[in-house]
């Protein structure tokens, strides 16, 4: 009897599994008359997601029989494993998010990114001129930029600054003095969640360019002949970062603290400042429904005394969407990108704190934050590319590790010697 | 009984050989072929280069990954096999305590991503449970996931998960030992500890060697905990071969070099399995097993 019951149970389980598999497959497959347009991007904050959803629904409304599928993963996962896996999968995206610069070149060389110069020429009148930096290679255009990011600016808690009678610094000496006041009052001056390597990496990148010189930074990271990572200027910049760590200016656990966890430290008032990009505004909405309860503001990193880079340089880049060279829905993809950068859609993104490439949407915005960041971007004399999106990835990784190790207390010369050894075979 | 001819006997082995060829032999051969090819990211360019193998001895990260893997195996031998054996010894005295065994085994069934995230919170520097305990005890907080503790901390979590699994294996061996052996020892005046170490443990040493094999070869496969808990590990204090392989293949898109590392890893694992087989041959021998 027991044996019979067991056999029946196993039989039921097998049938359930088989049925589940069939139904699951049925659910994944599109209806025969439906066309699926697949989009892939990194995860955004809640208001950006809301706007993107609105964009997809609007596109579906305009294109009956078309369904838009959006696959998104967190920034680092998307950048390093998510997108490469998707591109090699059976359901590759037709359109995918990219960072302008070296990644576009790599994608073109790999045969993943389509030449969309004709679409770009059509859209040029509605997008601002500087948006195309990083989207073009040798006169051809491969990306439709929809967003301009500053990747490192210093966000600070206004309430904490007011409490200790502090104001945004205009020199590094002032920044260190502010940090000392904060530390003496039990507040961590600067918090960074560098477990993903890029936060301190980008922050350190600004140091390298400001100290070593903007052109020099570009030459070294581009691995131009005769340049080396373990040069005197970079060693000096890393030493400065190390001194910051030794003086308790940055959180002790920066290299093991996660990106999301670092926001918690800032928002609960344990820390006063955080170097982060323009997406900070949208990101904090993940942690609170009432952003006004967090009185934040930002300042550009102050200039170095004696540095050879421009004192008002900014690390930033254009981001946007590219079309998969192997897509079967080129016309639909074109239409989607036309809609994406239209003022109708970009007005929503600007209202969510994005710095749009659409000129009309930016001009229509009265948001003081959006206007001031746009002003900062448009007035900067030098835009520095972040190491991991502007240059070779292995080079960026080696440099990020050297920066992390310098913050950790390793001799800057030894950290950069090690980084140089790691990239030797790339030269 | 009539003996079947050799040709018929081979037929029985065909399904297994076919599976082995498709799942093990062909991918291994392809990995070797990829390792001697030049690539531009995912596109093969030409065959017949040894440059990836020449890079291996100069690779600092690879050296660090091997070192971390061996340290991890050392700690997991203690924390997984050693603790598992100890817990099995406790469980055998609490034979009716299904609850004890279920509790110890429970972490095995938790998804490793959940376990990793839970422990990551426990290890957090500012607000983690472990540092709160240290602070309460008047000690300084530790950076559990930073050097020099990184590998030990991950091993600790690994031990927390897998000690229950090894306990179950060893427990199954211990309960098969005839009661008469233990009763004789008791009558001779042996203490429970003496019985455990002198009678029970030697009689399940084949299972202990199995545990050794699982931990040493499995130590080269661990990826999930490292990835979840250390993210991109900017200090490389917890870089291990699987995380380095994923980085090489996916992040750097270096198929040739990633394949060369895979070939080296395969050779190392086969070598270790050979050593374990030798230990098994000379240490376990032909004695009765439980």
Half-sphere exposure of B194 (CA within 13 A, CB side): 11
Interface test with B, best of A112, A254, A256, A266 (most B CBs within 10 A): A256
- Is pLDDT at B94 greater than 60 in this prediction? yes
* pLDDT on residue A290: 76
- Is pLDDT at A282 greater than 80 in this prediction? yes
* pLDDT on residue B251: 85
Taking the domains of chain A in order of start, what are their residue ranges? 35-149+316-380, 153-315+384-426
pLDDT digits (tens, 9 = 90+) for A213-243: 999 999 999 999 999 999 999 999 999 999 9
- Residue A4: which pLDDT band, with cuts at 50, 70 and 90? low
A297/B contact by beta carbon, under 8 A = no
Overall average pLDDT of the A42-64 stretch: 92
Of A21-30, A119-128, B131-140, B193-202, minimum mean pLDDT range: A21-30
Task: Check for a shared fold between A35-149+316-380 and A153-315+384-426.
Answer: yes
Alpha-helical runs (H) found in A89-212? 102-109, 117-123, 158-163, 172-184, 198-212
A195/B contact by beta carbon, under 8 A = yes
pLDDT digits (tens, 9 = 90+) for B114-124: 999 999 999 99
- Is pLDDT at A63 greater than 90 in this prediction? yes
Report the mean per-residue pLDDT for chain A.
Answer: 91
B131 falls within a domain: yes
Residues spanned by the domain of B239? 56-284
Strands (E), A206-357: 271-276, 296-299, 314-323
SS3 A416: helix
* pLDDT on residue B93: 87
The residues, any chain, with a CB within 8 Å of residue B54's CB and separated by 6 or more, are: none
Residue of A238, A233, A240 lying closest to A217 (CA atoms) = A233
B235·A405 Cβ contact <8 A: yes
Kindly give the pairing relationship between strand A271-276 and strand A188-190: parallel
Question: How many CB pairs below 8 A link A and B?
Answer: 86
User: How would CATH label the architecture of A153-315+384-426?
Assistant: 3-Layer(aba) Sandwich (3.40)
Q: Which one of A76, A110, A270 has the shortest CB-CB distance to B232?
A: A76
A80/B contact by beta carbon, under 8 A = yes
8 A C-beta contact, residue B141 and residue B135:
yes
- Residue A284: which pLDDT band, with cuts at 50, 70 and 90? confident
8 A C-beta contact, residue A389 and residue A317:
yes
Overall average pLDDT of the A382-409 stretch: 94
* pLDDT on residue A377: 87
- Is pLDDT at B266 greater than 90 in this prediction? yes
B49 falls within a domain: no
- A35-149+316-380: CATH topology is D-Maltodextrin-Binding Protein; domain 2 (3.40.190)
- Is pLDDT at A2 greater than 90 in this prediction? no
Please state the pTM of the whole predicted model: 0.88
Q: Nearest 5°: CA angle at A92, between B25 and A395? A: 75
- Is pLDDT at A41 greater than 70 in this prediction? yes
- Is pLDDT at A130 greater than 60 in this prediction? yes
A89/B contact by beta carbon, under 8 A = no
Q: Enter the ipTM.
A: 0.87
B43 falls within a domain: no
A408·B120 Cβ contact <8 A: no
Alpha-helical runs (H) found in B21-148? 26-35, 51-55, 60-76, 83-93, 98-109, 112-123, 129-136
- Is pLDDT at A11 greater than 60 in this prediction? yes
B67 falls within a domain: yes
- Residue A277: which pLDDT band, with cuts at 50, 70 and 90? very high
- Is pLDDT at B16 greater than 70 in this prediction? yes
Overall average pLDDT of the A167-193 stretch: 96
* d(C-alpha A202, C-alpha A403), whole Å: 10
- Residue A427: which pLDDT band, with cuts at 50, 70 and 90? confident
Overall average pLDDT of the B195-202 stretch: 93
Residue B256 sits in a domain of what CATH number?
A: 1.10.3720.10
B262/A contact by beta carbon, under 8 A = no
pLDDT digits (tens, 9 = 90+) for A144-171: 999 999 999 999 999 999 999 999 999 9
Which residue in chain B has the smallest CA separation from A405?
B235
pLDDT digits (tens, 9 = 90+) for B125-175: 988 999 999 999 999 999 999 999 999 999 999 999 999 999 999 999 999
pLDDT digits (tens, 9 = 90+) for A331-355: 999 999 999 999 999 999 999 889 9
Domain count, chain B: 1
* d(C-alpha A421, C-alpha A423), whole Å: 6
Overall average pLDDT of the B263-287 stretch: 83
């Amino acid at each position: 009897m027991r044996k019979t019951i067991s056999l029946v149970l196993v039989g039921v389980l097998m049938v359930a599994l088989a049925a589940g598999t069939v139904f699951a497959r049925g659910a994944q497959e599109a209806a025969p008359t439906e066309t699926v347009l697949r989009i892939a991007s990194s995860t955004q904050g809640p208001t950006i997601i809301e706007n993107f959803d609105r964009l997809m629904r609007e596109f579906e409304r305009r294109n009956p029989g078309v369904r838009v599928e959006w696959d998104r993963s967190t920034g680092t996962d998307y950048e390093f494993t998510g997108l490469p896996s998707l591109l090699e999968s059976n359901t590759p995206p037709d359109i995918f998010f990219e960072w302008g610069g070296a990644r576009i070149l790599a994608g073109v060389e790999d045969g993943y990114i389509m030449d969309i110069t004709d679409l770009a020429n059509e859209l040029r009148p509605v997008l601002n001129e500087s948006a195309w930096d990083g989207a073009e290679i040798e006169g051809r255009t491969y990306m439709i930029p929809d967003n301009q990011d500053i990747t490192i600016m210093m966000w600070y808690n206004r309430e904490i600054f007011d409490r200790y009678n502090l104001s945004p610094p205009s020199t590094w000496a002032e920044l260190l003095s502010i940090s000392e006041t904060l530390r003496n009052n039990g507040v961590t001056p600067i918090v960074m969640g560098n477990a993903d390597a890029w936060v301190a990496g980008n922050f350190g990148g600004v140091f390298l360019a400001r100290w070593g010189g903007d052109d020099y930074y570009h030459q070294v990271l581009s691995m131009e002949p005769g340049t080396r990572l373990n040069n005197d200027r970079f060693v000096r910049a890393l030493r400065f970062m190390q001194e910051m760590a030794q003086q308790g200016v940055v959180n002790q656990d920066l290299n093991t603290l996660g990106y999301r966890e670092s926001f918690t430290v800032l928002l609960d008032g344990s820390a006063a400042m955080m170097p982060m990009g323009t997406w900070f505004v949208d990101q904090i909405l993940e942690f609170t429904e009432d952003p006004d309860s967090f009185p934040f503001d930002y300042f550009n990193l102050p200039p170095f005394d004696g540095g050879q880079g421009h004192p008002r340089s900014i690390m930033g880049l254009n981001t946007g969407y590219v079309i998969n060279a192997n897509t079967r829905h080129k016309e639909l993809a074109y239409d989607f990108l036309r809609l994406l950068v239209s003022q109708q859609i970009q007005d929503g993104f600007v209202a969510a704190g994005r710095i749009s490439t659409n000129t009309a949407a930016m001009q229509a915005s009265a948001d003081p934050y959006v206007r001031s960041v746009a002003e900062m971007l448009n007035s900067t004399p030098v835009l520095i590319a972040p190491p991991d999106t502007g240059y070779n990835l292995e080079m960026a990784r080696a440099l990020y590790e050297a920066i992390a190790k310098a913050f950790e207390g390793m001799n800057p010369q030894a950290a950069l010697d090690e980084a140089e050894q790691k990239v030797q075979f790339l030269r | 009984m009539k003996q079947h001819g050799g040709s018929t006997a081979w037929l029985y082995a065909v399904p297994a050989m076919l599976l082995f060829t498709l799942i093990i032999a062909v991918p291994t051969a392809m990995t070797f072929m990829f390792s001697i090819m030049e690539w531009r990211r995912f596109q093969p360019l030409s065959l017949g280069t040894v440059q990836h193998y020449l890079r291996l001895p100069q690779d600092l990260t690879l050296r660090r990954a091997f070192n971390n893997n061996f340290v991890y195996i050392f700690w997991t031998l203690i924390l997984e096999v050693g603790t598992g054996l100890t817990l099995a010894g406790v469980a055998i005295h609490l034979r009716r305590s299904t609850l004890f065994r279920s509790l110890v085994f429970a972490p095995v069934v938790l998804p490793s991503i959940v376990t990793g995230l839970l422990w990551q919170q426990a290890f957090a520097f500012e607000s983690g449970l472990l540092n709160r305990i240290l602070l309460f005890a008047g000690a300084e907080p530790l950076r559990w996931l930073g050097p020099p503790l990184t590998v030990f901390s991950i091993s600790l979590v690994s031990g927390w998960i897998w000690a229950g699994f090894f306990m179950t294996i060893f427990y199954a061996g211990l309960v098969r030992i005839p009661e008469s052996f233990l009763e004789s020892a008791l009558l001779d005046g042996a203490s429970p500890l003496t019985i455990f170490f002198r009678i029970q443990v030697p009689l399940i040493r084949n299972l202990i060697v199995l545990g050794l094999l699982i931990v040493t070869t499995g130590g080269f496969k661990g990826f999930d905990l490292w990835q979840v808990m250390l993210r991109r590990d900017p200090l490389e204090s917890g870089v291990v071969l699987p995380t380095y392989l994923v980085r090489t293949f996916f992040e750097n898109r270096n198929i040739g070099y990633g394949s060369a590392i895979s070939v080296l890893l395969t050779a190392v694992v086969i070598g270790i399995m050979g050593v374990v087989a030798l230990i098994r041959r000379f240490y376990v021998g032909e004695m009765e097993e439980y």
